[in-house]
Structure 1
Amino acid sequence: MRHMHRGGRDRHFTAIDEAHGHHHRGRHGGRRRGGRLFDYGEFRLLILAMLAERPRHGYELIKGIEEQFGGAYTPSPGVIYPTLAWLDDSGYAAVEAEDGGRKRYTATAEGLEFLAANRPAVDALLAWVGEGGGDRREGAPAPVVRGMENLKLALRLRVRRGPIDAAAAEAIAAALDAAALAVERS
């Protein structure tokens, strides 16, 4: 069951929060509270702006965002679809069922009005995203962040496979040491 937010929905968007004096990090690359990629409401604003460009399926939004971040960030379906449902419930987006059960989302007139009324915040967010999300990790460019995420994932997957014997532990440590040395020298 979806919850309707018609009365107070605007409070969920960053532009409205900023207008009311709430503190939000600027677009200068510093980390956000809790290490989140987007401040409260920014992800909804990004999705709405993308829907204003053209109607899209959830998968197209996922791939579009991944592309904009150079592969360093890919939103999960568990983030995209609740956001789309919220935008639909709020009247900012509409959903159209297609043959095969797929859903296509589009910005409504009310959503377009909201974007127009908050154009400076939208433009700043889109510029930041267009730069690959700036740096969320102390100045690291998107390809470096992607590499860091790939390394974390590889280590997690290896640990899940089972116990690591002494020889495998030495091989992993040697690979990490070599990578660390290469990073220091670059």
Structure 2
Amino acid sequence: MKLLVLHFIAQAPKFSYDIIKDVAAFVGGEYKPSTGTICPTINYLEEQQYTQVIMSADERKQYHITDKGLEHLEDSQDTLHRVLSRFETRRRIKNDERYIDINNAMESLKASLRLKLSHAELSSKDIQKIAEQIDQAAANITRL
């Protein structure tokens, strides 16, 4: 989240509400980060001197990237690229009609796992079987 927020601030100075909107729009789906997630992230970036606060004309905090923040982003390009790619893939699966069957299958798997875990006391053997089936499905997909 820290790199993602810094990435958005690097694009243009932001108010905290703008950061929340940017992250929500980028991640897609129903996810919208809370102020309880964003504010500590912003505070961390400021403490690390990656951002600085400039008060706007209406006395709101606007976050700007610093030279140190730009350097950190540059040093973290590989990690940032992986984060951006992961969310882009997630958004594509959620929004592209060609992937509707994949999205539905993923949601079905999550729902069945939640249901199984909440309504049954699983033995170690059952947990191992479930994990093996998920691993096998992943291997089968990789081989496609």
Assess same fold via TM > 0.5: yes
How big is the alpha-carbon RMSD for the aligned residues of Structure 1 and Structure 2?
2.5
- CA shift in 2, pair 1:71/1:100, >3 Å: farther
Q: Which residue is equivalent to 1:119?
A: 77
Distance in structure 2 (CA, Å) of the matches to 1:108 and 1:84? 13
Distance in structure 1 (CA, Å) of the matches to 2:67 and 2:91? 28
Q: Which residue is equivalent to 1:129?
A: 87
Structure 1, unmatched stretches of 5+, are 1-42, 149-186
Distance in structure 1 (CA, Å) of the matches to 2:85 and 2:48? 25
Q: Which 4+ runs in 1 deviate beyond 4 A? A: none
* Structure 1 residue 92 corresponds to structure 2 residue 50: yes
The count of corresponding residues between Structure 1 and Structure 2 is 99
Task: Output one character per residue of 1:53-80: Cα deviation in whole Å (capped at 9) or x when no partner.
Answer: 1111111111111111224210001111
Distance in structure 1 (CA, Å) of the matches to 2:90 and 2:60? 29
What aligned pairs does 1:11-90 form with structure 2 within 5 A after superposition?
43-90=1-48
Displacement, 1:133?
Answer: 6.1
* Paired AA for residue 84 in structure 1: I
Greater relative contact order, per chain length (Cα 8 Å cut-off, separation 6+) = 1
Displacement, 1:134?
Answer: 7.9
What's the TM-score, normalizing by structure 2?
0.60
Identity of aligned residues (%): 30
* Paired AA for residue 127 in structure 1: S
Distance in structure 2 (CA, Å) of the matches to 1:122 and 1:44? 10
Distance in structure 2 (CA, Å) of the matches to 1:102 and 1:62? 15
SS at match of 1:106: strand
* Paired AA for residue 70 in structure 2: L
* Paired AA for residue 8 in structure 2: M
What's the TM-score, normalizing by structure 1?
0.47
Q: Which residue is equivalent to 1:101?
A: 59
Q: Which residue is equivalent to 2:139?
A: none
Q: Is the 8 A contact 1:68 1:132 kept in 2?
A: no
* Paired AA for residue 82 in structure 2: A
SS at match of 2:85: helix
Displacement, 1:130?
Answer: 2.6
Structure 2, unmatched stretches of 5+, are 94-101, 112-144
SS at match of 2:58: helix
Q: Which has the higher helix share?
A: 2
